[in-house]
């Protein structure tokens, strides 16, 4: 009994249940994607799923197209979001936290409802649905996810650095280019992760915005994984997606820092 109390009062063991949970519900499922991807319907090892992906023009072209759409969407989000984050974090222009809140609030509105609202906006104004609507809709849906991380890193920039640069004679342009821009890059990187990756794997949004005309990679994955005879092919497509996630997140990884200073609300 005493031993038990000792184990429990050693508080580092308190993370054990969660560690087990993470193993079972995060690590194992990801491993299973890899396992199923290299299996045929009877459970034997095969690479046929990947051969099918490269050889089948529909899936492969959709994949390339989705990456292109995701790049353009991410670019638009940075273009619109970076200045907004800069203005929001600058005391000279904005002191209100509520303003910041208004920008991240759409993150809490169901993405399907927001997308359908965009569709209705196009209907009312008579703009046809299609590629343009898709890009607009995706930018609209993901813009808050770009603004928020950039704003967060900008707020953390040590104001003394900016003053020091000014004292040393840098004009506003130079202060921005030499201090603010480089120091806000981690925010841009996490913004890219929060926009680029979900865009490639989007499925419902693209279907709604283009009346099922344009399908992104996510739709192809979804269709295959849900059917038992193409499940392994779907797993192979998911593995391709996972590789992209790995490559993108290798670009910027400061997990430890995020952990101790994060906080969402």
Partner 1 sequence: MKKLIAKGYLWLLLALLYTPILIIAIFSFTETKVLGNWTGFSMKLYTNLFSGGMSSSLVNAIKNTIVIALVASSLATILGSIAAIGIFNMRSKSRKAISFLNNIPLINPDIITGISLFLLFVWLGVSQGYTTVILAHVTFCTPYVVLSVMPRLTSMNPNIYEAALDLGATPFQALRKVIIPEIKPGIISGFILSFTLSIDDFAVSLFTKGNIGLETLSTYIYSDARKGGLTPELRPLSTIIFVTVLVLLIVINRRSEKQAKKAKS
- Pick the closer one to partner 1 by CB: 134 or 225: 225
Nearest to 69 by CA among 147, 138, 116, 142: 138
Q: How far is CA 143 from the centre of its chain?
A: 11
- Minimum Å gap between C-beta 261 and partner 1 is 6
- Pick the closer one to partner 1 by CB: 93 or 132: 93
- Pick the closer one to partner 1 by CB: 15 or 47: 15
Q: CA-CA-CA-CA torsion for 109, 112, 113, 119, nearest 10 degrees?
A: 130
Read off the tokens for 127.
Answer: 């703009």
- Minimum Å gap between C-beta 41 and partner 1 is 13
Which of helix, strand or coil describes residue 39?
A: strand
- Minimum Å gap between C-beta 184 and partner 1 is 17
- Minimum Å gap between C-beta 21 and partner 1 is 7
Residues facing residue 96 across a β-bridge: none
Token pair 């209100």 is found at 96
- Pick the closer one to partner 1 by CB: 26 or 185: 26
DSSP symbol at 210: T
């Amino acid at each position: 009994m005493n031993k038990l109390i000792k184990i429990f009062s050693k508080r580092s063991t308190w993370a054990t249940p969660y560690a087990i949970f993470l193993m079972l519900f995060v690590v194992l499922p990801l491993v299973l994607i890899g396992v199923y991807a290299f299996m045929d319907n009877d459970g034997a090892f095969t690479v046929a799923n990947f051969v099918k992906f490269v050889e089948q023009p529909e899936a492969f072209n959709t994949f390339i197209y989705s990456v292109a759409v995701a790049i353009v969407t991410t670019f638009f989000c940075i273009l619109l979001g970076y200045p907004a984050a800069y203005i929001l974090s600058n005391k000279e222009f904005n002191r209100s936290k509520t303003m910041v809140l208004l920008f991240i609030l759409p993150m809490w509105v169901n993405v399907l409802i927001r997308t359908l609202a965009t569709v209705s906006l196009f209907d009312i104004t008579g703009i046809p649905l299609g590629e343009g609507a898709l890009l607009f809709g995706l930018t609209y849906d993901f813009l808050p996810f770009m603004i928020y991380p950039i704003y967060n890193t900008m707020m953390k920039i040590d104001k003394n650095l900016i003053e020091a640069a000014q004292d040393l004679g840098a004009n506003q342009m130079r202060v921005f280019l030499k201090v603010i821009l480089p120091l806000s890059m981690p925010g841009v990187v996490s913004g890219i992760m929060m926009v680029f990756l979900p865009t490639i794997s989007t499925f419902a949004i693209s279907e709604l915005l283009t009346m099922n005309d344009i399908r992104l990679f996510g739709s192809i994955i979804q269709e295959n994984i849900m059917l038992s005879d193409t499940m392994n092919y779907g797993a192979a497509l998911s593995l391709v997606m996972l590789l992209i996630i790995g490559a993108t997140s290798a670009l910027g990884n400061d997990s430890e820092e995020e952990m101790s200073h994060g906080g969402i609300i």
